[in-house]
Structure 1
Amino acid sequence: MENEKTRKTKIVVAFAAGVCIACGIFYAANCFGWFASVFGRTNGVRSDGATISEVKQQLDGAKNNQRELQKTADAIEGTVGDIRQEVSGAREEVGRAEQSLFDAENQSQRAGELIDECQRILDGAGKRVQTKTEAH
């Protein structure tokens, strides 16, 4: 019986040692990246299932989108420049209109002064004519 117990103990110890050695080998293989292709890893990069060609297509699409956005931004910048020029032109026109209004107001004021002067002249002439007719 003693031999059988010893034999069973040796089998259990051998099994435990085999499990420990297998675990050690698996751990070392995992640390050195020997199972990388099996678990979807390469150089520390995990695959999410997308192929290189799919990723390339996505990158090409992103490049095309970026180009289109740049074209749109350039067009917007050109439009903004045109608007600035139009606003500048409108400001100049407003300045000219203000000057014309100022000139018209000055001319109107001068015309009023001339009318007043003409009325004084006519009043003076009327008084002289009236004085002459009364004298005759």
Structure 2
Amino acid sequence: MLNDEEKSKNSHRYYIIIIIIIIIIAIVVLCAAFYCIMRSGGDNGSGNNDIRNQLNEAGNAQQSITTGIENAENTADGIAGSIGESETAIGNAGTTVTRLEEQQRQSGEIIAECQRILEGIRTRNETRKE
């Protein structure tokens, strides 16, 4: 029986030794992780300042691009308005040309009629003289 008790005690010792080894390994891993974290961030945030500056610059660049896009949209709207006004002016000019052509035709008819009247008057005057 004594042999079974000694085996049991030895078994418990092995478990205790394994648990202690696991705890020591965990402490070493935690210390190594803490060291790595402190080493990478141990510049009192100057790395963070660089990142913050880069983010601010990116934000400013994005704002500048957005402003440029808005200006381009306003310019495009202005051009579209000018095109609309030009189309209206072209339509008005076309109407004016049509009216001028009609007036020219009417003027030609009036001149032709006046010439017939004058010819008629001349003919009458010649017949009276004879």
Q: Is the TM-score greater than 0.5?
A: yes
Paired position in structure 1 for 2:28: 38
Closer/same/farther in 2, CA of residues 22 and 61 from structure 1, 3 Å limit: farther
Structure 1 residues 77 and 96: alpha-carbon distance in aligned structure 2, compared to 1, 3 A threshold: same
Q: Which amino acid in structure 1 is aligned with residue 13 of structure 2?
A: I
What secondary structure does 2:28 align onto? coil
Query: Runs of 5+ in structure 1 lacking a partner?
Result: 1-9
Residue 26 of structure 1: aligned partner? 18
More helix by share: 2
Residue type of the alignment partner of 1:73? Q
The whole-number CA distance in structure 1 between the counterparts of 2:56 and 2:33 is 30
Report sequence identity in percent: 11
**Judging changes above 3 Å, is the alpha-carbon distance between structure 1 residues 115 and 91 closer, same or farther for their aligned structure 2 residues?**
same
Aligned with residue 99 of structure 1, among 65, 83, 88 = 88
Partner of 1:5: none
Taking structure 2 as the reference length, the TM-score comes to 0.71
AA in 2 matched with 1:69: A
Is 2:108 the counterpart of 1:119? Answer: yes
Over the aligned positions, Cα root-mean-square deviation in angstroms equals 3.1
Instruction: Name the TM-score, length of structure 1 as normaliser.
Output: 0.68
SS, match of residue 38 in structure 1: helix
